Chain A
Amino acid sequence: MILFATSDKGGTGRSVTSCNVALRCALRGSDVCYLDFDFGSPTAGAILHVGSAARGIAGGRGLHSYLEGSVAAPAELDLWRHIERAELRPRPAGAGRLVLLPGDEGGGEFPIDDEMIIRCQRLLRRLAEEFELVIVDLSAGRSYALQLVLEVTARPALQAMITRWLVFHRWTRQHIIAAAGLAYGEHGIVDTGAAKGHDRDRLYDSIRFVRTAVPDPESSQFAGLLPTQAAWLQEIDAELQKLAARQRVGRSVLLGSVPLDPVLQWREQLIIDSDVWTLRIANLETNAALDALAKDVLDEDSWEGL
């Protein structure tokens, strides 16, 4: 499966959440690869604790160079060898492969040409041949990267593959409206995809949403609230639920919610067991939510058409 991770706005936690999903799927035994298609700011290496590729990879062998045609294949970093977290080395027994394809250091956004589309198609097809899950982390908004992958997935060689979409949004009014717009609005995913030759209904059915930084009024974080504040939180939450349903991003297309967690917000890092149990910096709920998200991503049932 090729999974495109996108969001309408920046700062939704798209990259950090999808990196965590990639890690957890690999720990469950799937072979996973993660492509940093956030061309304007290729920093997936930083989230994945790969110091050497924190701002993209040096030496002109990243995804930018590959798509521009200056290398025959982009660099593939075996994360079990490159992650700088002692708990994840050596490769945990039973884990699948976990590979990062970083962008180029200093790489930026670029307009798309036909050659690039062919190269991108060739790369995604080959990776889908080798990996059970290929996560493509796209730039926020209606970017060149989004255009590129919508073009590529409409091509015959990739039409046979399973391609799915995850739209990340924070749990606010503005973000809900923006996420719905990116998916179903004018020049959104469905709209643009259909214009490029996708089957509209199929594309529509392949989109799911992930809510990030969701405050849970029931959680201990909010235990010290005044009764009036607690009531207000409940009220806002209910309002947002209604808005989401109206915008067609309600529960039926929800793949998961990740709670508000300082480790995700400030450090933007991988959350592993020791963060929850030994260091006690991450919340248990976050851990459970990420686990559930990883499980649902790989579960066919959660992607069934409506």
Chain B
Amino acid sequence: MGVEDGGGAEPGDAPPAGAAGGGSRVLVGEVRTGLLAHSRALTEPEATAVVALRPGFQVRVSARPVPHTVSPDLTLGVHCPVPSASGARRDGLGTVLSRASVTGGRLVQASTHARIILGGPRSVGRRRPWAHHLAHPGGIEVGGRLSADDLADGFLLAETGDGPGTTLDLGAVCGRLLDQVQESPILDQKPPFRARRTRFRFVLLPCGPPSAGEPVCHSGSADTDTTSDRSPAPGHVCRVGFVVAGETVRTLRIHGSGLDLVSVVGLCEDLALHDWLLTTVQHVVAGSRVRAGGGGRLPSQLKPVIDHLLHVWMPAARIGEELLPVWTGLEQRPGFSRQWESLVAWIRDQLALSLLAGLGDGAR
């Protein structure tokens, strides 16, 4: 399970202390999750073929605790202004990294991320050649002054990410990759049920005091103070803010230092996957509660959920030790697993009721 390139090429890519100002690095990314357009779960070789998006590069496969297949990283060159909440136009130049994955042979994800290196005033007018950027895939250098929080707010609060505009749009890159995987000729385009895609946007910022703009976007979020100690220990998460920003948009803001960026992306993919499962099952359950069949009949919409989704829940399966506090915090508030267990229990109760009703019919 090696990391070929990207953030891993610079181990200990610790963002310097001090949230705003020159020289700070911000990881931004988006994960889109959906149901694979296929009538049954893919086998491992099929899943491997679906995400073999770059000839000559290995697809990473893991079998436990759920089958998981990850495409090689795809690099895309970008040269455009980066997002900013204040509307400042700062040009970024570099590359973004994307990858696609299939989990449990059923769920498909695309994720795109970039390390944005905010140069500060000294970098104005200095532009490095493309060769430099290609040697550091996944990095975008920004000329001119732009604070990390301004960038993060601009990225997280962007309305849809698909609108017309000239700023960096990771969502569009990500959505396109997901389309590409779903168009694979291996897939029969007959999913057992319809499910919406979700968008999960994340940023990793340096540790630091909460900025003035932050409480606004944290309203209704699960703020988790994992620790108040800000010593520069390696692998250290200071604060996490998770917001359910709309029916299908979620944002996550992590403040941390010394974290391995590839692991952070992995964490966000895992969170996005479980959030999608929750969102989708909740939608189906809400629908079947309204349209309850009555007489103990199992609402027909529940069957595909039982068949295809219930066994995929495996939170924090591929998360490193230093990032576990993020999951633990989200388990406390809003309580991912708690909600999931309650949904699963309801579905099983419906199943039991329908069984009883069936037995009653048989006896008559």
Point out residues on A near B: beta carbons under 8 Å. 29, 31, 59-61, 65, 70-73, 75, 93-94, 96-97, 122, 125-126, 128-132, 156-157, 160-161
User: Is B287's CB under 8 angstroms from A161's CB?
Assistant: no
Bound complex: CA A96 to CA B162 (Å)? 24
A129 lies within 8 A of B291 (CB): no
Q: Mark B189-221, 1 if CB is under 8 A from A, else 0.
A: 111001111000000000000000000000000
A284 to chain B, nearest CB (A): 26
Interface segment, B71-79, B130-138, B170-178, B229-237?
B170-178
Q: Chain B's nearest CB lies how many Å from the CB of A9?
A: 34
Query: Contact between A93 and B290 (Cβ–Cβ < 8 Å)?
Result: yes
Interface pair A128/B189, CB less than 8 Å apart: yes
| Contact B189–A161 (Cβ < 8 Å) | yes
B35 touches A73 (CB 8 A): no
A96 CA / B175 CA spacing, docked (Å):
24
> Of A31, A72, A130, A131, which one neighbours B175 at CB under 8 angstroms?
A72
B14-34 near A? 1/0 per residue, CB < 8 Å:
000000000000000000001
The proximity string for B residues 266-298 relative to A, scoring 1 for CB distances below 8 Å and 0 otherwise, is 000000000000000000000100110000000
B37 within 8 A of A: yes
Stretch in B44-52, B179-187, B311-319 with 4+ CB within 8 Å of A: B179-187
Which of B37, B161, B195 lies at the interface centre, i.e. has the most chain A CB atoms within 10 A of its CB? B37
Closest 7 CB pairs of A and B: A72-B172, A73-B162, A160-B189, A94-B290, A157-B183, A72-B162, A93-B290
A156 touches B195 (CB 8 A): no
Q: How far is the CA of A156 from the CA of B187 in the complex (A)?
A: 11
Q: Judging by beta carbons under 8 Å apart, are B190 and A160 in contact?
A: yes
Assess whether B191 is in contact with A129, with CB atoms less than 8 Å apart: yes
Minimal beta-carbon separation of A61 from chain B (angstroms): 6
Given contacts A72-B169, A73-B175, contact A60 B185 (CB under 8 A): no
B301 → chain A closest CB, angstroms:
9
B110 → chain A closest CB, angstroms:
12
Q: Which B residues from 154 to 168 make CB contacts under 8 A with A? A: 160-164
Complex interface: chain B residues within 8 A of A72 (CB)? 161-162, 169, 171-172, 175-176
Q: Is A130 within 8 A of B189, CB to CB?
A: no
Minimum C-beta distance from A123 to chain B (A): 9
Quote the shortest CB–CB distance from A73 to chain B (angstroms): 4
Contact A29 B182 (CB under 8 A): no
Query: Can you name 19 A-B residue pairings with CB atoms under 8 Å?
Result: A29-B287, A71-B164, A72-B162, A73-B160, A73-B172, A93-B290, A94-B287, A94-B291, A97-B196, A125-B182, A129-B35, A129-B37, A129-B182, A129-B197, A156-B185, A157-B185, A160-B188, A160-B189, A161-B189
